[in-house]
Chains A and B, each alone.
Chain A
Amino acid sequence: MWEKIKDFASTFFVTGDPLIYGADVSIVLTMAAIVFVLTKYKKWGWLWREWLTTVDHKKIGIMYLIASLLMLFRGGVDALLMRLQLAFPNVEFLHSEHYNAIFTTHGTIMILFMAMPMMFALFNIVVPLQIGARDVAYPFLNAVSFWMFLFGAMLFNLSFVIGGSPDSGWLAYPPLSELSHSPGVGQNFYIWGIQISGIGSLATGINFLVTILKMRAPGMKLMKMPLFTWSVLSSCITIIFAFPILTVTLALLYIDRFLGAHFFTMDGGGNPMMYVNLIWMWGHPEVYIVVLPAFGIFSEIVATFAKKTIFGYKSMVFAMISISVLSFFTWVHHFFTMGAGADVNAFFAITTMAIAIPTGAKVFNWLFTMYRGRVSFEQPMLWTIAFIPCFLVGGATGVMLAVAPADYQYHNSYFLIAHFHQVLIGGVVFGYLAGIYYWWPKMFGFKLDERLGKWGFWLWNIGFYVCFMPQYALGFMGMTRRLYTYGWDMGWAPLNLISTVGAFLMGAGFVFQVWQILYSIKHGERDTTGDPWNGRTLEWSIPSPAPLYNFAVVPEVKGADDWWLTKQERANGTAKAEKAQLEPIHMPKNSGIPFVMSACWFVAGFGFVFGWVWMAVVGMIGVALTMWARSFEYDTDYYIPVDEVRRTEASFGRGISCNKS
């Protein structure tokens, strides 16, 4: 009996590595600390009522933000571990399997559990406010999406200490990811972590598409919509077409592993190449899903900080829509070297390069907007400006990779690693950071400290070039990706050391940002106006942080940059003061079901990972029961009475000034 338990424990818990013992200890300590604090300050009820059951899009956005920053930390630690390993030749810090596990979890976490939720954080916080809506189309579903993401991410992260991490790359190509080559549970963690959070992402795509199509304030025609909202719209359309493909692909891989099917196996008539096609039919659109909103963010920031209308609004919209369509016709460029034939390669080389055209148009529009504007260089603008050269270089190297014959040289080399980090960090991460700085006052009611922020900014930027420029050269020198060590004779040592130094500079930048947040909570400049940057769009017309119902009175929109127009009219004294009445505001009620349902998904996912059918069945029954319970819930909304709205507005110093007009 005792022997059996010991046997089970040693396969269940990952052992034998100091890093993992460290992680075990820190998980236990963090859990204990959380439980202790919540109990000591009697905060359990508060946590449940205010956060775990909330359907308020602003709070859901904040939870997405916190989760994504934690994931950025985890993914960043993985990155630093890899760079430490590669700093010198013949380092024996991580052995090869561990290195494989780390680059796999790093890539997966960064794209699916850091970039996606950070993007959803901004969707949630900004979109309803920008379109003058009081909520998203389906607030309950929105909460489901968040909790599915969170429980999926937790499942994935557990693999580090329980059962073992996946180690066949962030796209899990077979046969590496098949049972024959990855017999452990790591690959199952990958499948179910992504599957559960992926269903949540798909729901978010539907939710925001309908929100944008149907919930805009009266008068806001599509072509009067702020560009960030446009970018969300195009990103959501891409999600809706791409994510079902991912769902199927992961399901098929799991069926192969669990039921012994032959979709992608080497034997039984399976076709591994089909997996590669499927995963990239999702994977390539995915990178545009995450970068399009960044384009939207830059457009808002450039217009605000140059105090000018964005140059070429229509071409910006057109560019985003064409990028989201084109992104589905480029996937083969990820395997030019796998023998598809010259014609196929040529087609996909051309579609890939075609994407550079709308992207280039956008860059010129941003530059024209800044040209002769009175540009002020606060943090959001700094990150935007840093993005432009970074993305230009990334785009240029991307076009180099798109040249099919040349790709035979660069394929799977460090050149590629440098390229995609350049677009992912320079485009996506810089973009979202810019967005976070920009909308931070709207979320929390204070600005983030400039001085600490500049430290963070310069460390990130210098660190970025120090880290990734040498990698282009290393690629030409023949260093391939996913290599865990190399010899002195290769001559790669100096450049690798420089690269590692750069990575640590970025890590230091992140530390400064955390410090900046903590410092600003106490000392940051409070935003009493609701409009700290002299903004142009509707979210700046309401107090910061926005009240529960967002808009006491739904605005009537006259044009693009509506808030800017209103401010000008007020300044000229041409503003028309029409009279309207406050009315009771219709709001959704909080619900515990999304949390419980996602927890059931987690249980089911865990069962599927270990092949414990009983547990999977219990979890799925839980999912079904919670859905059933929701279907029987009719009392799902309430009205905020006029008096309460008036009181809230008055507490912001609003209602009164409004009434005087």
Chain B
Amino acid sequence: MQQVMTHHGDSHDHGHDHGHEDHENLKVLGFWIFLVTDCILFGTLFATYVVLMHNVAGGPTAKELFEMPGVIAETFILLTSSFTSGLATLAMHKGNTKQLIGWLVVTALLGLGFIGLEINEFVHLVAEGATISTSAFLSAFYTLVGTHGLHVSVGLFWMLALMIQLARRGITPVTRRKVTNLSLYWHFLDVVWIFLLTVVYLLGVM
């Protein structure tokens, strides 16, 4: 080993394995910041919705359109899936790969159910003649709710990729970080949905 002039005291700081762990933590931080940008994205969409929600231009209003039973079911399913994704994380901390994958499967199925209900809702609305081009209110409605749905779908796609990786590799620092980020994302979508429920649906039917 050669000696090099430096002011470095503790060379173990940069040990190989350490370096790897650090990188995984770094990625979690980056993901938090990504979620901040996503918050702003949704914030902007919410703001547009609030500005436009009474501009029905002679078309149907929120009160006439929304059917709460379906929405309540969606809410219930999504909240449950958030809970099961929490159980998945717990299983991961216990080091139980099988259980982890199992809970992820349950979460994904619930997510799929949510998307199914949402598509069903949209199809019904369109059948009633309430399309995205009917009024500014409906443009904002479809865009805001649809963006959330799109996020959930991307999450499902990601979850699938992650389940395959977990099955192949088990719990490693890398898969651990990915599961952490995914569950962050999933909870975040849950929170966004609560706002959606309040601002779009509850305010709409009131």
Contacts and interface: CB of A to CB of B under 8 A. Distances in A.
Interface string B22-63: 000011011001101110110011001001100111000000
Given A137-B26, A263-B48, A554-B14, A269 B4 contact: no
A263 B136 CA distance: 6
Interface in A619-661: 624, 628, 631-632, 634, 639, 642, 646, 655, 658-659, 661
B4 A580 contact: yes
Interface string A187-215: 00000000000000010001101100110
Contacts of B137: 269
Interface string A250-265: 0110011001111101
B75 interface: no
A577 interface: yes
A243 interface: yes
Interface stretch (A2-10, A224-232, A341-349, A581-589): A581-589
Given A261-B143, A270-B136, A210 B30 contact: yes
A590 B154 CA distance: 26
B2 A582 contact: yes
B37 A268 contact: no
A655 B4 contact: yes
A292 to B, nearest CB: 18
A581 B37 contact: no
Given A263-B139, A642-B1, A578 B6 contact: yes
A136 B51 CA distance: 40
A614 B1 CA distance: 60
A257 to B, nearest CB: 11
Contacts of B16: 584, 586, 639
Contact of A268 (B4, B45, B133, B174): B133
Interface string B6-23: 111101011010010000
Give the interface residue-count category, chain B.
35 or more
A244 B37 contact: yes
B52 A271 contact: yes
A340 to B, nearest CB: 15
Nearest to B27: A138
A555 interface: yes
Contacts of B11: 580-581, 583
Interface residues of A, number: 63
Contacts of B161: 628, 631-632
Contact of B37 (A243, A579, A583, A655): A243
Contacts of B142: 261
Nearest to B165: A632
Interface string B130-163: 0011111101101100000000000001100110
B87 to A, nearest CB: 23
A261 B4 contact: no
A576 interface: yes
Contact of A138 (B3, B30, B178): B30
Contacts of A581: 1-4, 11
Contact of A583 (B14, B30, B41, B157): B14
B5 interface: yes
A278 B47 CA distance: 10
B22 to A, nearest CB: 8
A361 to B, nearest CB: 29
A552 interface: yes
Nearest to B44: A248
Contacts of A218: 8, 13
A580 B11 CA distance: 7
Closest 9 CB pairs of A and B: A269-B55, A269-B136, A261-B139, A260-B133, A556-B7, A269-B57, A244-B40, A580-B8, A580-B6
23 contacts: A206-B33, A207-B30, A210-B30, A251-B143, A261-B139, A261-B143, A267-B57, A268-B55, A268-B139, A270-B136, A274-B48, A274-B52, A553-B4, A553-B6, A553-B8, A554-B14, A577-B5, A579-B4, A579-B5, A624-B157, A655-B4, A658-B4, A659-B5
Interface of B: 1-9, 11, 13-14, 16, 19, 26-27, 29-30, 33-34, 36-38, 40-41, 44-45, 48, 51-52, 55-57, 132-137, 139-140, 142-143, 157-158, 161-162, 164-165, 169, 174, 178
Interface of A: 137-138, 202, 206-207, 209-210, 213-214, 218, 240-241, 243-245, 247-249, 251-252, 255-256, 259-263, 265, 267-271, 274, 278, 552-556, 558, 576-584, 586, 624, 628, 631-632, 634, 639, 642, 646, 655, 658-659, 661
